[in-house]
Structure 1
Amino acid sequence: MSLQLQFSRQIAGRNVTVDCDIPRGDCLALYGPSGVGKTTLLRTLAGFDRIDHGRIAFGAQTWDDGQRYTPVERRRVGYVFQDFALFPNMTAARQLAYAQPRQPTQSVEHWLQLTGLAAHGQGYPQQLSGGQRQRLALARALASEPDLLLLDEPLSALDASLREQLQESLAGLLAQTRLTTVLVSHDLGEVFRLAQHVLKLDGDGATQYGTPQQVLLQRGQYGRYQLTGRVLLLAPAEVQCRVVVAIGQETVTTLISHTEAAGLHVGQAVAVSLNGASATLTALS
């Protein structure tokens, strides 16, 4: 059963059109700057919001076509919110039991073990670390035995090193459970690590769909891959200038000549052409 998305809807005064078909077990990343409607699209898939035109379907079941509408509670969707939305008065084990269907196919202990929380089943959210709370929110979503897993920047509140560790854990979980997943992310590394497909949203309502390589890596001069970023720091030295560029939530540091640096300034949009261990910067208008 694939996730079929052929619809349009108004988001912040812009008409956003989505046209993609996600095979079962694959991950689709929604990528783009803040305010373009990524979370709104996630809420639309969950059933909290309605489409204007088109169709959302999972396998043979139509969830929304403008007339027929499957409510949230009948969509079998697991949702991990940015703030985790855990119940403060429930232990980890109780939260999972609460989320399970009436006749679960897996035990609470199974999900605790799978997410590395076997030793914390009797812990309350306030007793857990940030990474443990993130894994508990994910375990709760998995325990509901969904057809579709929705992740709204689940790792964005974590520091870089912990985020990288949990990306690895999440990649393993998605591979093991073979759940169809839609992920909202600002993190390029996260997108390339977890997603097979990307829907990129721009500020004018335009969308691009394809693999991460097709959508996020552009072929520049001499066939080198390019990414778009912004200059964070220009640090002149005696021979060369050190430049730090933000690309998504990642940074790239490279050395360029003073001549190349003369056309750049902090905040400048640049194309970053990757060539092995080095990077070439080109100012964008």
Structure 2
Amino acid sequence: MIDLSISKSLQGDSGSFSLKVDIKLDKGSFTAIQGKSGAGKTSLLRLISGLLLPDKGKITVGEQEWFNSESRINIPTQKRGLGYVSQDYSLFPHLTVLENLEFALPKGQNKKEILELIEVTALGDLQHSKPKLLSGGQQQRVALARALVQKPKLLLLDEPLSALDPETRRNLQSYIINVHQNYGLTTLMVTHDTAETLKMANHLLIMENGLITKSGKPTELLGNQSVSGKFQFTGEIIDIKPEGVVNIVSVLIGKDLVRVIAELNEIEALSVGDKVLVASKAFNPILKRLD
């Protein structure tokens, strides 16, 4: 169980605002955090990690208090037993990719874990390179691998897959889910990708101006409650092609390509690249844009 009851005065693009969070998260949950830029999502992760100090409140993980303003408890970041992938990667510039991972490997843990991560993150050809020679996406993969190699009890991810190509992104989504489940992690992930949230998370927090305005299952908060049917999947439109009086909409769902017949009025608000909900209604697939 993670018990957060904290507040912090912050400065945003639109001026100062207060972050106030009072939530409890179950052990083993995978929680996505969504909201507009400047809502306080990254600040929340930094407060949990100890990289940012709350003005007041407390943070309790399991039976251990990580922070308590009244008792003046503040456990250092390196002693909190967490993995954190930030937007700035924070790699050691003087170490190679392999050495960055070896540095993070806990004592006594098999180095086989590193070789597996290097393969999954497609870093084999780069393992002897230093960060300055890597692209942003490559550095992001290294940062993710370094966090995962620690097998942390709490994993904090700040848009960890945003700079990756679609195939690597899908592979790492699956890998993160497997690691989360197999090692009993509790994971919090900031993301702007609705499809990613629906695929990976079992709990969703929506933030606005430093406050948690909604909390619940992703399918309930993001899905359209007016849409019913035998099935519902999320995907991305990759092509819309006129075919006589109708249109053929090609939707990528995972690794599968699904083609849906849609009338003109059904696709007026849709375009290539949109995330959509594909659902059945009266045995005919329908499309609903996910905002």
TM-score normalised by length of structure 1 = 0.73
Q: How far apart in 2 are the matches of 1:92 and 1:178?
A: 26
1:188 corresponds to which residue?
A: 194
Note the alpha carbon deviations across 1:146-171, whole angstroms, 9 max, x for none.
Answer: 33221111110012222112211222
Superposition pairs of residues 128-147 of structure 1, within 5 angstroms = 133-144=139-150, 146-147=152-153
Q: Does 1:110 align with 2:116?
A: no
2:85 corresponds in structure 1 to 80
State percent identity of aligned pairs: 34
For residues 267 and 155 of structure 2, the distance between their equivalents in structure 1, rounded to whole angstroms, comes to 45
| Partner residue, 1:163 | 169
Q: 1:265 to 1:182 in 2, by over 3 A?
A: closer
Report how many residues are paired. Answer: 274
SS of 1:35's partner is coil
SS of the residue 2:22 aligns to: strand
For the Cα contact (< 8 Å) 1:240–1:257, is it kept in 2? yes
Q: Any conservation in 2 of the 1:224–1:273 contact (CA below 8 Å)?
A: no
1:7-64 deviations in whole A, cap 9, x for unaligned?
3444544444433333333321111222211111111111122334432111122222
Q: Secondary structure at the match of 1:219?
A: coil
Query: Which residue does the alignment assign to 1:248?
Result: none
Displacement, 1:96?
2.5
Distance change (3 Å), C-alpha of 1:8 and 1:83: closer
Contact 2:157 2:190 survives alignment (8 Å): yes
Where does structure 1 lack aligned partners over 5 or more consecutive residues? 246-251
Q: How much is the aligned-residue C-alpha RMSD, in angstroms?
A: 4.4
Deviation at 1:243, TM superposition (A): 8.3
Question: Partner residue of 2:65?
Answer: 62
Is this contact kept in 2: 1:100–1:143, CA < 8 A? yes
Deviation at 1:183, TM superposition (A): 0.9
Please, which runs of 5 or more residues in structure 2 have no aligned partner?
Answer: 252-257
Given that residues 220 and 273 in structure 1 are in contact (C-alpha distance below 8 angstroms), is that contact kept between their aligned partners in structure 2?
Answer: no
The DSSP-based 3-state class of the residue aligned with 1:115 is: helix
Q: Select which of 154, 157, 163 maps to 2:160.
A: 154
Paired letter, 1:175: Q
Looking at structure 1, the residues matched to 265 and 203 of structure 2 have their Cα atoms a distance apart, in angstroms, of 39
The match for 1:197 among 189, 194, 203 is 203
Closer, same or farther: CA 143–116 of 1 in aligned 2, 3 Å: closer
Q: Residues 241-263 of structure 1: CA distance to partner in whole angstroms, max 9, x if unpaired?
A: 68899xxxxxx99765455677x
Greater mean alpha carbon deviation, residues 115-124 or residues 80-89: 115-124
What are the Cα deviations for residues 190-224 of structure 1, in whole angstroms up to 9, with x where unaligned?
A: 22232222111135845211222232224116589
